[in-house]
């Protein structure tokens, strides 16, 4: 097992009616900015519950965070925070709203520099405005971690950053708030959580059997409950299990002491940046190609995945790996998620752009052992045409 540090002080309040506890989580003297997205919180009852719980608090609102939250919109929120002397943020929505809030919280104290440097140069975050979240869309896990992904419209970039300073003080996860989600978004959530686990699991053996089994626990549970929650997002238990799977998939528990990959994400982000494809769908496109192109390097773990997740016992090693990837694709497709670039109208021109971008960044290579060179990126994407 590799050495590791683990620190996750986010307080989770999970279940029906937890929004009522909001007034015990924020002190009454705080000036709160509530940040939300496209307005679904007015339809799913969250806005009303929230106003009721925060009666008597000083509340300002900022709506309109995009599905792939942008630097540009975030800067408008930062301006408002400074004007109104806000000292606590409440992020209400899915991963986009929470990721934007993390960037906004850090940018408030980034006075003399361009906050985009946090993403483009990994500039240090010394301080951030405290914030809590109310999660209404299970998927990214951002409600219980230190990560955020932000896009820049002007340059068509999509980059990630991470800092202990931007972990939520609390996150409220009430599965009933996700019941009215469109099925496509529920499917995205299942696939997003699934691939998050894969990024921390399908690497190489590292004498960490507990972490392996915990990762497998999430994958198996997603396969078990995915169809039920896709069929009926109002199924409380199915949604509750999806919500908790998505959080556990990326709160650090399964990644301690083991290698991590994230090449699928890095490549997927480029597909969103160029074609605005939903994040989860970009992962569903990239993953099968990546696993097959790297089948030799990931062999031991791919065979474990075939055996333990898909119960594949027969065939040669290569056949087992191909079957396992095939089952993965079928699982994604059963949730209405296509895995070919052509399904999304992406042509070879985009592949060339993405490969050029990776070359220009002069990264050694993506993935757990930096094996995914720009040439491999091309091979992976061509495989998924």
Q: Which residues bind its own copies (CB under 8 A)?
A: 1-18, 207-210, 213-214, 216-218, 220-221, 224-225, 237, 240-241, 244-245, 248, 253, 256-257
| Rounded Cα distance, 356 and 366, in Å | 14
Beta carbon of residue 256, minimum distance to its own copies (angstroms, whole number): 7
CA 53 to chain centre: 28
Beta carbon of residue 7, minimum distance to its own copies (angstroms, whole number): 4
Smaller CB separation from its own copies, 78 or 254 = 254
Smaller CB separation from its own copies, 178 or 263 = 178
Smaller CB separation from its own copies, 166 or 248 = 248
| Rounded Cα distance, 355 and 35, in Å | 36
Smaller CB separation from its own copies, 12 or 119 = 12
Beta carbon of residue 171, minimum distance to its own copies (angstroms, whole number): 10
Determine contact, residues 133/170, Cβ cutoff 8 Å: yes
Beta carbon of residue 298, minimum distance to its own copies (angstroms, whole number): 21
| Rounded Cα distance, 167 and 66, in Å | 21
Extract the runs of DSSP E, i.e. beta strands, from 143-297: 147-152, 157-162, 170-173
Structure tokens at 167: 């972990």
Residue 62, CB-side half-sphere exposure with 13 Å CA sphere? 27
| Rounded Cα distance, 99 and 166, in Å | 9
Smaller CB separation from its own copies, 209 or 315 = 209
| Rounded Cα distance, 345 and 274, in Å | 12
Smaller CB separation from its own copies, 25 or 59 = 25
Question: What's 343's DSSP letter?
Answer: G
Question: If we measure between CA atoms, which residue out of 154, 162, 164, 157 comes closest to residue 123?
Answer: 162
Beta carbon of residue 248, minimum distance to its own copies (angstroms, whole number): 7
Beta carbon of residue 217, minimum distance to its own copies (angstroms, whole number): 3
């Amino acid at each position: 097992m590799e050495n590791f540090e683990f620190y996750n002080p986010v307080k989770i309040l999970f279940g029906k009616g937890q929004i009522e506890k909001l007034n015990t989580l924020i002190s009454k003297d705080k000036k709160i900015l509530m940040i939300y997205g496209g307005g679904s919180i007015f339809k799913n009852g969250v806005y009303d519950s929230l106003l009721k719980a925060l009666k008597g608090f000083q509340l300002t609102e900022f709506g309109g965070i995009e599905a792939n939250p942008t630097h540009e919109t975030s800067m408008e929120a930062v301006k408002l925070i400074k004007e109104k002397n806000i000292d606590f943020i409440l992020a209400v929505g899915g991963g986009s709203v929470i990721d934007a809030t993390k960037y906004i919280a850090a940018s408030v104290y980034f006075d003399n520099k361009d906050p985009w440097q946090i993403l483009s140069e990994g500039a240090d975050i010394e301080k951030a405005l405290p914030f809590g979240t109310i999660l209404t869309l299970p998927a990214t896990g951002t409600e219980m971690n230190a990560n955020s992904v932000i896009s820049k419209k002007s340059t068509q970039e999509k980059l990630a950053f991470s800092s202990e300073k931007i972990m939520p003080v609390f996150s409220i996860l009430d599965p009933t708030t996700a019941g009215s989600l469109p099925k496509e978004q529920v499917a995205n959530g299942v696939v997003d959580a699934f691939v998050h686990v894969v990024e921390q699991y399908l690497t190489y053996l590292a004498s960490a059997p507990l972490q392996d089994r915990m990762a497998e626990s999430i994958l198996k549970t997603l396969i078990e409950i995915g169809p039920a929650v896709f069929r009926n997002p109002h199924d409380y238990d199915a949604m509750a299990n999806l919500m908790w799977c998505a959080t556990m998939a990326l709160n650090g528990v399964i990644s301690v002491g083991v290698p991590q990959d994230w090449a699928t994400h890095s490549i997927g982000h480029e597909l969103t940046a160029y074609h605005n494809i939903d994040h989860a769908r970009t992962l569903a496109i990239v993953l099968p190609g990546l696993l097959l192109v790297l089948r030799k390097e990931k062999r031991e773990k791919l065979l474990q995945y075939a055996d333990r997740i898909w119960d594949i016992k027969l065939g040669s090693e290569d056949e087992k790996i191909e079957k396992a990837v095939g089952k993965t694709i079928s699982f994604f497709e059963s949730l209405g998620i296509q895995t070919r670039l052509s399904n999304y109208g992406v042509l070879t021109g985009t592949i060339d752009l993405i490969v050029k971008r990776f070359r220009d960044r002069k990264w050694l290579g993506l993935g757990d052992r930096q094996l995914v060179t720009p040439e491999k990126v091309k091979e992976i994407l061509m495989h998924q045409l």
